[in-house]
A = this chain, B = another copy of it.
Amino acid sequence: MTNPLRDLADGRLCCLNTATLGHREPILTVIDAVARAGFGAISPWRRDVEGHDAAAIGRRIKDAGLVLPGYCRSTYLPATTPDGFRANVEDNRRAISDAASLGAQSFVMVVGGVAEGSKDLDHARRQVEDGTARLLEHGREVGVRIALEPLHPMYAGDRSCLNTLAQALDICDRLDPEPGPDPWLGVAIDCYHCWWDPDRAAGIARAGAARRILGFHVCDWLVPTKDLLLDRGMMGDGVIDIPAIRGEIEAAGYQGPAEVEVFSANDWWQRDREEVLKICRERFATVT
């Protein structure tokens, strides 16, 4: 432990990412439940919001006393044609406008893996940087920060060619070389994606020094993990030393909430919403 940790028994420091509940109920129901359960923040997904009135949802979140750290998530950027790439950028531009209507502090970018039908990972990475540059511009215009979320390398094929914190921070430095005290471009750091990385602590320190930590996500790595996407564990049920990573994050100056994001088709998504919220709060207080 590198610093005295903040007390996550204080629900104001706890954020519920709506994916944790499996997107089974309307967002307004979820907002009210999350506020009742004592959380201080909620991060919804586009599937919760699109097709509804984003501004009205944003007001409901605010009225419930919740903040909205990160709106999830981008359409994948890489494509095999210039038209496909442009369409992906446009789609994200619309989502960033929705993020502004919602009052989201940031828009979370899960950037996409190698484009379908391609084996060119480097090309995908170049497209991600190019697309991010365009979206950063739009984010500045509408007042939404862009949070690049590096994903675990097991997603390089289909979900994210951005796989380490160092890679994401290099992009930040190139696209936003003079960020000032409150950068428009930063990173969302998820324990699940970076716990294995030998350069994790250095990356977190670097991100903190540049004030680029826009989000901190928690869940756990189960042994065995039975599915690459939908078998994440609740904090405490796996092998990640989450308090150690939170220590690094807080020592780096991060003051935002810790956000629980658990994809779990066969366990947590099968449980009652109130049970899940209660256990999240408990695990925040004890093993996070």
Number of interface residues of A (CB under 8 A): 32
In the bound complex, CA of A65 to CA of B222 (Å):
45
Partner of A157, one of B113, B166, B228, B239: B239
Q: Interface of chain A, helix or strand or loop or mixed?
A: loop
In the bound complex, CA of A114 to CA of B240 (Å):
10
Known: A153-B153, A154-B225. A241 touches B195 (CB 8 A): no
A1 within 8 A of B: no
A197 within 8 A of B: yes
In the bound complex, CA of A239 to CA of B161 (Å):
12
Complex contact A224–B158 (CB within 8 A) = yes
A74 within 8 A of B: no
Across the interface, name the chain B residue whose C-beta is closest to A153: B196
With a cutoff of 8 Å between Cβ atoms, the chain B residues found around residue A222 in the complex are: 157
Complex contact A121–B156 (CB within 8 A) = no
With a cutoff of 8 Å between Cβ atoms, the chain B residues found around residue A113 in the complex are: 223, 239
Write the nearest CB–CB distance from A233 to chain B, whole angstroms: 10
In the bound complex, CA of A154 to CA of B192 (Å):
10
List CB contacts (< 8 Å) of A132-174 with chain B: 152-154, 156-158, 161, 163-164, 166-167
Query: Measuring CB to CB, which residues of chain A are less than 8 angstroms from any residue of chain B?
Result: 113-114, 118-121, 125, 152-154, 156-158, 161, 163-164, 166-167, 195-198, 221-225, 228, 238-241
